[in-house]
Structures are given as C-alpha cells and as structure tokens.
Amino acid sequence: MSTTETGNSSTTESAVSGLDYEETQLTLAASGASRSELERKRGFSEGVDLSLETKDFLSGSSDEAPISGAGEPSAAKAQVVGWPPVRSFRRNVLKSCTYVKVAVDGTPYLRKVDLEAHAGYQQLLTALEEMFSCFTARNYPNERLVDPVNGTEYVPTYEDKDGDWMLIGDVPWKVRSSSNFTGNIKGFGSHVEAINKEELEGAISTIHGKHHSTENNLVEW
Amino acid sequence: MVGGFRWAAMFPDEVWEHVFSFLPADADRNAAALVCRAWYRLERRSRWRVFVGNCYAVEPAAAVRRFPEVRAAAIKGKPHFADFNLVPSDWGGGAEAWVEAMAEGWPHLEELRLKRMVVSDDCLELIARCFKNFKVLSLVSCEGFSTAGLAAIAANCRYLRELDLHENEVEDNCLHWMSHFPESCTSLVTLNIACLEGEVNVSVLERLIGRCPNLKTLRLNHSVPLERLVGLLHRAPQLVDLGTGKYAAQHHPELFSRLESAIAGCKNLKGLSGFWEAGPTFLPAIYSVCEGLTSLNLSYATIQGPELIKLISRCKNLQRLWVMDLIEDEGLIAVAASCKLLQELRVFPSDPYGAAQPISLTEHGLVAISAGCPMLHSVLYFCRQMTNAALLTVAKNCPNFTCFRLCIMEPHTPDYITRQPLDAGFSAIVESCKHLRRLSLSGLLTDLVFKSIGASANRLEMLSVAFAGDGDAGLHYILSGCKNLRKLEIRDCPFGDKPLLDNAAKLETMRSLWMSSCSVTLGACRQLARKMPLLNVEVINERKRGLPLELQPDNCPVEKLYIYRTVAGPRSDTPSCVWILR
C-alpha cells in the first residue's frame, strides 16, 4: 500500500497542502463537477502551454528543458502522501520561491516563469523569448481564443497586487492561493522589475547554485 | 492511612500548598495527589499549570472541575502525522469544547497554548471576552481561524504579553487587525506573526512596537519588506529574538548600510529567523551580531553553501541551527569547526520530491557534526544516503542524544556501500544513547532494529517508523519493550493484528498509537476495543465505499488506526470517516 488519497471533500486550501503532483500537471481529463469553473480558466492556459510544448524552441540545445508554466513533474515518480515528512507549510514556502515575474517593455502584460523549470540560463532565455515572441511575430498557428466576429484575440489576465497585468496560467493552479484570484498573490517570489541581466543571473544562480559566465550573444530586450 | 492523616493535620493547608509549589513536574504532582485524600485535595487546589497531551483524553469540564485554580493551560489535538496530511482534515481536534469549559470554570486563566487544534474565530472571541487577565496566547500548527479572530484578541486582551502564532493556517480577511491593539496596549513581550500570509500594515506595527518597551521577540511575516525592517529595528533595539520579513530587495548600498547599522544596534540579539527569499546580497548585514547568536533559523532561505559558511563561521556561540541541505557536507564541516556549543541541528530538504540538482549532503556532514560538536543532543537530518558505519561513528561520538530523527528520503534505502539494512546503525544509536527520548527511523530496516530498540531504548518516549520491518515481530519488540514509550506512530509497515492484541495492556500506558497502511484488520480492532474499555480505538476509512463499517467483516483491512487512552469515553464529534469501536 503506498499512495492513499486524502479525502476529496477537502477544500482547495487543504488540496494545496496535499501537494498531489498529478493534480498540478495540466491535463485535459475532466475532473470533479465542482471544479468546472476552474477548468474553464485552466482550459485556456492548457491551450497556451500545449502549443508551446509542441514546438521545438530549443534551437540546437541538447537538453530538452521542458517549458512549463505548470510546475515540472519529477521523473515519473509516484508521490507518496506525506513522504518525505516535510510540513506542508514548509513545502509551500519553498515551492513559491522560484517563480520570477518578467516584464518586457511595450508588452501589455507580464509573465511569471519558474526558474527551477529550466536547466540553465540559456534555456530560460529561450523560454522567455518564446513567451514574449507573440508580440513581435505571429508565427505559430495555434489555438488562441479569437472572437469570430471581429478577430480580436482574447487572453485571460488578472491584475495582481502590484497593479501589473498578468497572464493566467503561468503558475500552476494549486500553487496559487485558493481563495483569492483577483487580489493578492500570496507568497510569490522574487520580483524582477526590469530585465536586468545581472539580477536575473543572480536569481538563477541562487536557485541553481552555479555561476553563469556572461555570454556575449545574450538577447537584450 | 492513619499515618497520612496525622501528617496532613500537622501543618495548615497553606504550608502544604507551599511545599507542593516546589513540585513543578506534573508527574510528581500526580504522585503526590495519590498519597492520601488530604494531599489529593491540597494538590488539586494548588495546581495552576495544566498540560493536556491529548484533548480527547479527558472531558474538559472534568479537568476544569478538578483543578479550579489553573492559570496556564496547554492542550494538544491532532496526532503528529496530521502535519504530513495523513489525518483527514475533518478528523477533529476542535478547541470549542475546551474554551467553553475554561471560560466557565477558569475565568482567571492567563495563558493558553494550543497545538494542532482547530480554533475558530468564535473561540478567539470567547477567549478575548471571558478571560479578564489573559496574557499569553500561543497557537502552534492550528487552523480554522482568521485575522478577524486575531483582531478580537488584539482589541480586548488588555494585558496581552505574548501573541505567538507558529505555523498556523490563518485566513486573511481582516487586513487591519493589528490596528485593533489599543493605544493603551504597551505590554507586549512576544509578537510572532511569521505564519500570516497577508499584508501587514507596517506603520501600525511600528507604532505598536514603539509603545511596547518590553518587547523581546518579534517575528515578522514575509510581506514586510526589507526597507521597513530598518524602521522597526530602530523602535525595538532591545529585541532578543528577531524574525525578519522578506530578506531581499534591489541592491542598494544605502539600504545595506542602514540595515547593517540597525541590526548592529540590537545589542541583545540572540535569535534570528525569517530570511524569506534571502540571497547573498544582504546576508553580511547581520555579521555584526553573529557572535552573540545562540539560535539561527535559515531554513526558509535558499542560500548556497559558500554564503552559509561565511555566515555561520562567525556564529561561535550558536546553540541551535536550522538550515537547508544547501549547506552541504562542506558547510556542516565548517559548522563543526566553528560552532562548538551547538546543541540542536535541523537540516531540511530543499527539494524533497525531485532530484533536480544533486545536493552534496551526505552521511559525511552528519559525522562531521557529531565529531566536532560535543554538546549536540538533538538532530533532525534529511538526506539521501547513509551507511551503518557512519551511524556507528555518530553513536560513539554522541552518547548524549535526546532526540535523533533521520530521514533518508527514498523509502527502503539500504547502506549504500554494503547494501545492507541500516539495522546495525540505528541499533548502535539506541544502545549508545541512553537518554534518547525521541527517535525517527528511515531507510531499509528489518525486525532486528526493533529488537534493539525494544531492549535498549529505556527512556524512549516517542518513536516514528515508516516503511520498515518484516512482520509482526517488529511491532511486538517495541510494544513489549520500551518501558517509557508514550507515542508511537507507524506508517507503511507490515505490522498486523497479533502484536497489537498480545500487547493490549501496553497501549493503556501510552498516550497514543497511530498506524496507517499497515496490516491490521477490523476484527483485531473490534477485539481490542472490547478488551480495553479505557482506550478509544478509532478506525479511519476515507474511501467510503461498500458497506458501512459496522457491517464489514472482521478481515476487512484497516487503512488508518488511531488508538489513545482516555477517561472520557468515545468522543461525540467524529466525522463520517472515523468510527470509534466499542
């Protein structure tokens, strides 16, 4: 007997602390009826992330860093409930640490990227490039929400506590606080005000513990 | 006894009460109360501090009746494994019954400490209203309340000295709860709000601590920005224990020097914690107080080894260190060299689930600490590999361990060099450490380790077992040995009915037993419940499929079992997933 399920009458609050990795993965499978509203919102982000994943963004790089806005599942390991015995309070704090808010001049909204989801600085740059490329070149045919009447594109966003407009879907649903969708983002990590190469490197090296040499061919935004 | 009566009459009651006041330990007081009726009467009227280790072990009204003069009460609710989501969220542990009884019978209550209980805002409001002399509220690992409840406490407890909120889940629905502290509140000694998730009005906080000259402990939450920490420290330079808020900001030399001097201004600082999102930039700001530190909690800071070493090497007087495994073996070797007064070490995993970055924290770090720190007596260590040889060395170096908790993160991990189970290593620990009170096992373990524990761990009070053992013999060794065992918690072990039934009487000498994902059947639980009327045998079955429990056959496997001694009989607040067998 390994995995036991916690009671499914639990609120999303306790589900957050339940930390079921299976639940934080984006799937198209239908879940409980009570979550239909969540599904609708998640539906779009699924669309976005799926489209990102089907493309090969990593030009020539050998390690396939999965681009995920939804928390990277560790290599097919079954999550045993309550093991290792780390308090949910401690787990949640750690997890939220690695999300970085990314702002690019001239774009209507910011993005959040999980630094931990990328193996290195180069992969992160590539991922960020893709995240913001939709504003410069419309070169990937994918399922975007388009109003059939006037062709306006719809993107679900929300305004966070700093007054920034954020695209929904970067942060896995369960990591976000359950109760508050349009207000406080609770417990999120480093806020990168502008794309400052040193700060971003510093933030990454804090997470990964490596020292990245400054490369000359960095993309400057 | 005639003799007892004569003695009791020799002195007036007040003299006896004064004598009993020298017996602080509950166990001693309990013993005195059994001597004769006179002593029972005298003792109960003079006991003013009560500890209830299991809130369901006694009826609240009975406890309040027996000890009418209580000023300080501490009560614990859910089983320890609730911390790891093994206990259903609606299991129980509600505080209302206790708070209502206390409001009725202990109007002079000054201190209330609750751990792992469900505390509603109504409870907090009742506390705020009913106890006119209330001074200390400590809530540890509790849930069910919001900042609105805290507002009631702030507004009404005029003599509040301590508000200590440690790792609770608190709903944030009253943004300005701290504004409810009246201007007349000047008595705070401890304010710990580290677990609150919401924004804190720092200006209100500044004014509050500015008028509390006796404030010794201040632990902020992560919403308090680093820039504001400076102002807070200027208003409370007498602090002994500081928990920072967010310990990161845009690098700014002016901020750094202001922070550095504000911290240096706290000449009495002994404890530091917080450090959310700390990076290397602002760590050196605390260097000036490092030498005076006795307690340092960096377990929420994802700082890497080299920075940690630079910091901790300055902390020559450290007694307690909590840190993440990012410190690695090299860091622990540095700790062993610098922190000769270290008593307690906790190393937490930075990445419990993945193998994202291999962290070089191994058995070598633990061995180094055991060799370098002669006063070490309490260890919590998360790692991924271990050897029997290392544990033998640790056991030899540290015969004074009172608490040894080792968590090898992958279940069933053997000695990685010999591929043997870790029986020999843990056996050495229990045989060498004669004062061991708490032990947590992990790794590949057979029944042999339990034989050693049962035979040698005479002072052991709490044992945690997971993914260990071969069969019933393992549990039998524990229950038939371990004279002082109070709490036993077991998960995912092949322990079945026989050792439980054979050692039923033992269970009445313990506070509680938790078993989940073992091999216990419903029939054994029924037998146990019939045989032992002073035990509550709670069967927890969350899946709720098939027949209700009353109709299930004896061979039905039990998912989760919680057994505890009680004089209160079956509790009346069980949720649908819990059955108390009679």
pLDDT digits (tens, 9 = 90+) for B236-253: 999 999 999 999 998 888
For residue B324, the surrounding DSSP H or E stretch is strand B320-324
Contacts of B279 in chain A (CB under 8 A): 202-203, 206
Q: Residue B62 above 80 pLDDT?
A: yes
pLDDT above 70 covers a percentage of chain B that reads 97
Residue A90, number of CB atoms within 10 A of its CB: 17
CB of A79 less than 8 A from some CB of B:
yes
pLDDT-derived band at A104 (thresholds 50, 70, 90) equals low
* Closest approach of B278 to chain A, Cα-based (Å): 9
> Worst-scoring range by mean pLDDT, A122-136, A155-169, A177-191, B457-471?
A177-191
Render pLDDT for B166-200 as a digit per residue (tens, 0 to 9). 999 999 999 899 999 999 999 999 999 999 999 99
Return the DSSP state at B213. T
- Answer whether residue A99 shows pLDDT above 60: no
**pLDDT at residue B153 tops 90:** yes
Strand, coil or helix: A188: coil
CB contact (8 A) between residue A187 and residue B84: no
- Better-scored residue on pLDDT, A21 or B331: B331
- State the pLDDT at residue B38: 86
Given this model, what pLDDT does residue B12 score?
85
Q: Does A218 touch chain B (CB under 8 A)?
A: no
> Which value does ipTM take for this structure?
0.89
* A94 contacts B90? CB cut-off 8 A: no
- Most confident range (mean pLDDT) of A8-22, A124-138, B220-234 is B220-234
Q: How many other C-beta atoms can be found within 10 angstroms of the C-beta atom of residue A115?
A: 20
User: A interface mutation test: which of B89, B197, B224, B326 has the most A CBs within 10 A?
Assistant: B89
Hey, are the CB atoms on B89 and A21 less than 8 Å from each other?
A: no
With a cut of 90, say whether residue B540 has pLDDT above it: yes
Residue A7 at interface with chain B, using a CB cutoff of 8 Å: yes
B577 vs A7, A19, A189: nearest CB: A7
Our measurement of the distance from residue B440's CA atom to the centroid of its chain's CA atoms, rounded to an integer in Å, reads: 14
Mean pLDDT of chain B: 95
Cβ neighbours of residue B5 closer than 8 Å, sequence gap 6 or more: B36, B38
Residue A196: partners with Cβ closer than 8 Å, 6 or more residues away: none
- Determine the distance in angstroms separating the CA of A181 from the nearest CA of chain B, rounded to an integer: 14
pLDDT tens by residue, B368-420: 999 999 999 999 999 999 999 999 999 999 999 999 999 999 999 999 999 99
A187 pLDDT above the threshold of 60: no
Tokens linked to A113: 């990227």
Using N-to-C axis directions, what is the helix angle for B423-432 and B388-397, rounded to 10°?
10
pLDDT confidence bin for B496, thresholds 50/70/90? very high
Between B358 and B444, the higher pLDDT residue: B444
Residues of chain B neighbouring A187 (CB-CB closer than 8 A): 197, 222
Q: Chain B contact for A16, CB < 8 A?
A: no
Residue B274 has pLDDT above 70, yes or no: yes
Name which of A2, A79, A199 is nearest B353 (Cβ-Cβ).
A79
The distance of B238 to chain A (nearest Cα, Å) reads 29
Quick one: what percent of chain B has pLDDT higher than 90? Answer: 87
Chain A residue with Cα closest to B303: A206
Q: Do A88 and B197 touch (CB under 8 A)?
A: no
Cβ-based contacts of B281 with chain A (< 8 Å): 202
Please give the helix or strand (H or E) that residue B178 lies within, else none.
Answer: none
How many degrees, rounded to 5, is the angle at CA B263 between CA B260 and CA B266? 150
- What integer pLDDT is reported at residue B551 of this predicted model? 87
Mutate to test the interface with A, among B300, B353, B545 (most CBs of A within 10 A): B353
Segment B15-34 shows an average pLDDT of 87
Residue B50 predicted with pLDDT over 90: yes
Distance CA A191, CA B197 (A): 17
The pLDDT, as a whole number, for residue B279 is 87
Alpha carbon B424 to chain centroid, angstroms = 29
Q: For residue B23, what pLDDT is reported? A: 86
- Residue of B305, B354, B517 with shortest CB distance to A74: B354
pLDDT of B539 > 60? The answer is yes
Contacts of B88 in chain A (CB under 8 A): 6-7
Q: Which of B180, B304, B193, B321 is nearest to B245 (CA)?
A: B193
Q: Which of A4, A100, A162 should one mutate to test binding to chain B, selecting the residue with the greatest count of B CBs within 10 A? A: A4
- Residue B32 corresponds to which tokens in the numbers above? 């005195």
From the CA atom positions of chain A, what is the Rg in Å?
A: 18
| A85 vs B304, B407, B542: nearest CB | B407
Please name the residue of chain A whose CA is at the shortest distance from the CA of residue B327.
A209
Taking CB atoms and an 8 Å limit, are B355 and A209 in contact across chains?
A: no
d(CA A185, CA A197): 25
For residue A48, give how far its alpha carbon lies from the nearest alpha carbon of chain B (Å). Answer: 25
Q: What digits encode the pLDDT tens for the residues A132-171?
A: 666 544 333 444 555 566 666 656 566 665 667 777 666 6
> What's the pLDDT score for residue A8?
39
pLDDT given at position A39: 37
pLDDT at B98 over 50: yes
Cβ contact (<8 Å) for A184 and B491?
Answer: no
For A48-53, what is the mean pLDDT?
36
Q: What is the pTM of this model?
A: 0.77
pLDDT at residue B435 is higher than 50:
yes
Do the Cβ atoms of B242 and B266 come closer than 8 Å?
yes
| Least confident window among A115-124, B341-350, B401-410 | A115-124
Dihedral over Cα of A161, B283, B376, B239: its sign: negative
Is residue B421 very low, low, confident or very high in pLDDT (cuts 50, 70, 90)?
very high
User: Are residues A80 and B411, on separate chains, in Cβ contact within 8 Å?
Assistant: yes
> Does residue B102 register a pLDDT over 80?
yes
Chain A residues 95-124 with CB within 8 Å of chain B: 97, 116
Of A75, A82, A177, the CB nearest to B84: A82
Chain B CA closest to residue A85: B84
Nearest chain A residue to B559, by CA: A4
Tell me how close the Cα of B130 comes to any Cα of chain A, in angstroms: 31
Lowest-pLDDT range of A60-69, A156-165, A192-201:
A60-69
**Residue A10 contacts B, CB cutoff 8 Å:** yes
